[in-house]
Structure 1
Amino acid sequence: MPYVEVTMPVNCNRSEIYPILKGMEKYPEFMTDLISVEIIEQQDNTTITQWVSNVDGRIIKWTELDTFDDANMHISYRQIDGDLKKFEGEWILTTIPCGTEIKLTVDFEFGIPMIAGLLNPILKKKVRDNSLSMLTAIKDKMEG
């Protein structure tokens, strides 16, 4: 199962970044690969969101459960339905001298064992590139 972890420093306080991360339905406004994110259900500290992404012309859809720990400004997510067998991870915000380090983790499984050995390295690179693109978009939004 591929695992991707990307980090990026942002010259901004955690308290300014966290609301941006929580506002997932607005991600398509500044993340080019995302077509839509729709909130299906919202509770006190969770949402169920429906995602549609375009990765190199391939449409990928999933529904995820997002859990928010506001006190620690931490978000965890996991796919509950969708195109991948497994898709989960977390957003971690850590205070650093120049602002905040954003860490995004993605743990996923394509779900086709016979071709996993061939596809996993390609998908891992795609997920890493896409994750870095997301962090860069957030950095640009916060610092720009």
Structure 2
Amino acid sequence: MPYVEVSLPVRAERSEIYPILKEMEKYPEFMADLVSVEVVERKENSTITKWVSNVDGRIIKWTEVDLFDDANMHISYKQIDGDLKKFEGEWILTPVADGTEIKLTVDFEFGIPMIAGLLNPILKKKVRDNSLNMLTAIKERMENRA
């Protein structure tokens, strides 16, 4: 099962970044690969969200549950329905000297064993690129505030 972990330092405090991460429905405004994110259900410490992503012309759809640990400014997510057999991970915010390191982990499984060996390396690269694009978009949004 492919696992991807990307991180990027951002010149902003965790307390400034965390609320942006929690507003997933706004991600498509500044993340080019996302077509839409719809909040289906919002509770005090969780949401259920429907995602549509365009990866190199391929539409990938999934629904996930997002769990928010506000005290630790940590988000975990797990697909509950969608195109992949498994899709889960977390957002981790760690204070560093000049701001915050944002780390995004993605653990996924394509779900077709016979072609997984062929597709997993390609998908892993696409997920890594997409994840890094997400972090870069957040970094640019945080560091280019007026």
1:15 maps to which residue?
15
2:38 maps to which residue?
38
Q: Structure 1: where are the runs of 5+ without partners?
A: none
Q: Deviation above 4 Å: which 4+ runs of structure 1?
A: none
**In the alignment, residue 143 of structure 2 is paired with which amino acid?**
E
1:55 maps to which residue?
55
Question: 1:20 and 1:83 mapped to 2: Cα distance?
Answer: 26
1:101 maps to which residue?
101
Across the aligned residues of Structure 1 and Structure 2, the Cα RMSD in angstroms comes to: 0.3
**In the alignment, residue 80 of structure 1 is paired with which amino acid?**
I
Offset of 1:32 from its aligned partner? Answer: 0.2
1:72 maps to which residue?
72
1:5 maps to which residue?
5
2:141 maps to which residue?
141
CA distances 1:46-84 after superposition (whole Å, capped 9, x unpaired): 100000000000100000000000000000000000000
Aligned pairs for 1:112-123 (under 5 A) are 112-123=112-123
1:128 maps to which residue?
128
Question: 2:77 and 2:61 mapped to 1: Cα distance?
Answer: 15
Give the structure-2-normalised TM-score: 0.98
Give the structure-1-normalised TM-score: 1.00
Q: Structure 2: where are the runs of 5+ without partners?
A: none
**In the alignment, residue 8 of structure 1 is paired with which amino acid?**
L
